[in-house]
Structure 1
Amino acid sequence: MIEAIQALAKRFFVIPYLILCGMASIHAAWQLWTADTFSVPWLGAYIAVTPVLVFVPLLYLLPLVYATPYIFVQLGAAMLGALLVVIELEPLPTLYGLVLGLGGVFTYVFWYSFLDRGDNPLLRIGRPLPGFTLSDAEGRDVHSTAFLGKKTVFVFYRGSWCPLCRTQLRDFLHSSAEFAEKGVQLVLVGPQPSAMGTRLLSEHGVQAQILFDRDLSAARTLGIEHRNGVPFGVWWSESPNTVLPSLLYVDESGVIRYTDLPENFRAGPRPGPFLKALEGCCQ
């Protein structure tokens, strides 16, 4: 019950938070521009709330799949802004700096970003991968048994609405030749079709499959469904539910040999660490 309430709270956090930060940033900039004298508290409010508004668009524009280092810029700006607003403690800039800036960024980093996933006994190393059914771009069923006889990596991503997932998808596709060289078939699984993924697949050298778990039945079978995981306001997602980002590597007989089940969506599965692990222990 508590986990369900927390998931619902997270669903309604990020978009309203960004809107409030946008309003506060515009208001603080206006106060700085129109004031007769320079205001340190309003400067602090602007510094505290504005970086998060820059960071989110950059996720869509730049390949920031390794996004965690950039979070420290937001944390640093929020702390600096908070220090400036408390110099004079004017009510509104203090509210912006301490609550929206410092409080909001810390809430995003240390609460919202975590996936609250517990131990998953279905996906333990050495266990057979549970059977599930996906679909291809034409809507035809593809059962997991179709991949038996060859080493396979299944990468489940949250959806094309997620900027980190979009970059992650591109990262795996660009590394597909390395998977093929090691005799591993790469299967990327999303909740809904991705035009970007289909376009990348058509590029020369991409050796992978992109399949879909449209009703999240596979995610439920594997215990990686993320209920209310799509932020409120993402209208182009077909469902409020999505999948927990996961990487599953199985051998020719369908036994799980390696997993990457991150606790934080900002640190989702990446091809580099898996390929390195494959060389060391998973062949």
Structure 2
Amino acid sequence: MGQAAPDFSLVSLSGQTVRLSSATQNSDVVLVVLRGFPGYQCPVCNRQVQDYVHNSQGFADAGVRVLLVYPGPAGEVKERAREFASDKKLPAHFDLLLDPDYQFTQAYDLRWSAKGETAYPSTFLIDRKGRVYFSKTSKTHGGRTTAAEVLDLIRTQKR
């Protein structure tokens, strides 16, 4: 903990380029790495994102931006991410970022290279100085960080 988060730029589903170092200038960031589309929309990713959306006011009240990274093959990542987001109603302080051909996933050493897999589900909390103050990576499909856990960690950090 306390290490600088590797900077990155990814394009959001809406076509905007989001750079981590720019995002952290204005707020802490919750960075959630999803599994993407390993042949189906991951039901655990769906539940996790719905949990975060359901608790979006808590993130807004804390002044936190949520970045969701959706990895996949370049040729289909945008279409699959659009399909994933279609029922989510992501708030304005949430961005669904595309990770074509796993460039981000590999840079963060989260590529799950087993057959039918994409990325290890992970959550990072990054402060305004670009330092990671919490990280959790699951080597299974489950073991995700809930919105309540993240909000508690953010409140603890701000004390």
TM range, smaller chain: 0.7 to 0.9
- 1:271 paired to 2:147: yes
Percent identity (aligned):
23
CA gap 1:198/1:253 in 2 versus in 1, 3 angstroms:
farther
Residues 247 and 269 in structure 1, CA contact (< 8 A), matched pair in contact too: yes
- 1:224 paired to 2:104: no
In the other structure, the counterpart of 1:153 is 30
CA distance in structure 1 between the partners assigned to 2:110 and 2:123 by the alignment: 11
Greater Rg by CA: 1
- 1:210 paired to 2:86: no
| Counterpart residue identity of residue 103, structure 2 | S
**Which stretches in structure 1 are left out of the alignment for 5+ residues?**
1-124, 231-240
Residues 125 and 135 in structure 2, CA contact (< 8 A), matched pair in contact too: yes
CA gap 1:138/1:274 in 2 versus in 1, 3 angstroms:
closer
How many residues matched? Answer: 146
Question: What are the superposed Cα offsets for residues 46-74 of structure 1, whole Å, 9 maximum, x if unpaired?
Answer: xxxxxxxxxxxxxxxxxxxxxxxxxxxxx
CA distance in structure 1 between the partners assigned to 2:18 and 2:107 by the alignment: 15
Residues 24 and 128 in structure 2, CA contact (< 8 A), matched pair in contact too: yes
Alignment map for 1:161-176 (pairs within 5 Å): 161-176=41-56
CA displacement at 1:209 relative to structure 2: 1.3
Match of 1:143 among 4, 13, 19: 19
CA gap 1:278/1:144 in 2 versus in 1, 3 angstroms:
closer
Structure showing greater relative contact order (alpha-carbon pairs closer than 8 Å, 6 or more residues apart): 2
Residues 35 and 119 in structure 2, CA contact (< 8 A), matched pair in contact too: yes
CA displacement at 1:228 relative to structure 2: 2.8
Match of 2:57 among 171, 177, 181: 177
| Counterpart residue identity of residue 243, structure 1 | A
TM-score, scaled to structure 1: 0.47
Question: What are the superposed Cα offsets for residues 121-179 of structure 1, whole Å, 9 maximum, x if unpaired?
Answer: xxxx1100012221112555432222121110100110252111111111112211111
Alignment map for 1:30-179 (pairs within 5 Å): 125-149=1-25, 150-160=27-37, 161-179=41-59
- 1:262 paired to 2:151: no
Residues 125 and 132 in structure 2, CA contact (< 8 A), matched pair in contact too: yes
CA displacement at 1:255 relative to structure 2: 0.7
Residues 69 and 99 in structure 2, CA contact (< 8 A), matched pair in contact too: yes
CA distance in structure 1 between the partners assigned to 2:115 and 2:82 by the alignment: 18
Moved over 4 A (4+): none
| Structure having the larger proportion of residues in helix | 1
CA gap 1:207/1:198 in 2 versus in 1, 3 angstroms:
farther
CA displacement at 1:269 relative to structure 2: 2.1
CA RMSD in angstroms comes to 2.1
CA displacement at 1:265 relative to structure 2: 2.0
